[in-house]
Structures are given as structure tokens and as C-alpha cells.
Amino acid sequence: MDGRAHQTGSATVLHFVRPVAHPPDRVWRRLVEPSALAEWLGPAVLEPVVGGRVALDLSESGGGLIGGRVRRLRCGTLLEHSWGASCSDVAAGWIRWRLHPAGCGTRLSLSHCPSAAADPPFALACWHLRLDLLLASFELGSTLWLPARLERLRRHYAERIEKAIVTDCDPTTSSGPPLPGGRTAPTGSLQERVG
């Protein structure tokens, strides 16, 4: 399922919702245990307490070192932490994970407010691929970063945002709030799957 972007004040917020065929406690472990995070996200330190340190090494995907502090935590259902360009406490954005039981599985929601300098198509593509890797990690354990797939996803999101800009030039047909630079994005999920 594709992600979407919308403007909240001066910030762009990215959203993904994914069904996961595993119970919330198994998904939660993939979000907070360093060994499980390493299988789909990268080397990590995450102290799952409010104020706990977060350090992620996303160098494999070009993201570099990310640091922050846990801001909100409800064990098993909510994890929110600041998101900075280095492992310092000063963070330019935030990320929020929510887990909801859904039958025998989980509805996983991700919201990410990156720094103002972030490129929305690239950020959407990175999270799309990371979530694919998260789902694959339940069966495979460690997963591999796929640069060619990332580039296809980046182009996909860039085209979707560009279509929204062209479509939304007429204010009477606007389907979404503006992105940085006056661009707009659809308010609903982007539905095309990229293979």
C-alpha cells in the first residue's frame, strides 16, 4: 500500500498504513528491539522509555546517522521519537508508529515528519521500501536493501506528486494540501503498486 504526504502547518507529514499478518506483540518487537530493527531498518539503539535514546544507522540507504529521543510510548501500541540528522538530541522532525489489533494480525500506521530539507518522493520511497522489508523480515530474518527498487519507488512517488501538481493547479479541483514549494499531494492514499 502506497504512502501519502500532506501539509500540516509548515511541515510535510508522510503517512503509511500496512496490514501485517502477525499479532501486535510480534510487530512491536520489530520496532523496538535492536536486533530486530537491524533486520529491516539498520543498526540501531533504541531505549523504549520516554526520554530514551534513539540512534539509527541508515547509511545503507543514504540516510546517514539518525538520532533522537523517545517522546511518547504506550508499550505495544505507540512509539514516537524525534528524528534528527545526527545522533544529537537536537532533532528536526519526528516519527510515530501505531499498532492496532486487526483480526489475527495488526494494522501498522507510520507517520513521519522529516526535516524541511527532505525530498518527499525520496522519503516516501524509502519508507515504502523499509516497510516492505519489515514485512519480509518476519519470514526471512535479515533483508537486503534494494537500490534499484528504491529508485523505481522514488520515480513513482515523484510522478504521483507531479500529477497532483498539474491536476491541482485549478483551485476548484484541488485534491490535497500544498507541499513545500506550493506543490500539492492527493489527500487519499496513492493506490498504484510499484513492482
Condensed to tens digits (0 to 9), the pLDDT of residues 102-124 reads 999 999 999 999 877 778 899 99
pLDDT higher than threshold 80 for residue 63? no
Please tell me the least confidently modeled range out of 89-103, 118-132, 147-161: 89-103
Q: Over pLDDT 90: what percentage of the chain? A: 56
Q: Which CATH code, of 3.30.530.20, 3.20.20.70, 2.60.120.10, 3.40.50.300, is assigned to 4-182? A: 3.30.530.20
pLDDT at 27 (0 to 100): 97
Question: Phi/psi at 70 (nearest 5 deg)?
Answer: -65, 125
Asked if 94 and 71 count as a contact pair (C-beta separation under 8 A), the reply is yes
Mean pLDDT for all residues in the chain = 82
Tell me the β-bridge partners of 113: 94
pLDDT at 166 (0 to 100): 52
Kindly report, residue by residue over 1-37, the tens digit of the pLDDT.
689 988 877 888 999 999 999 999 999 999 999 999 9
- Residue spans of the domains in the chain: they are 4-182
pLDDT at 144 (0 to 100): 82
pLDDT at 15 (0 to 100): 96
| pLDDT band, residue 182 (cuts 50/70/90) | very low
Prediction pTM value? 0.79
pLDDT at 168 (0 to 100): 43
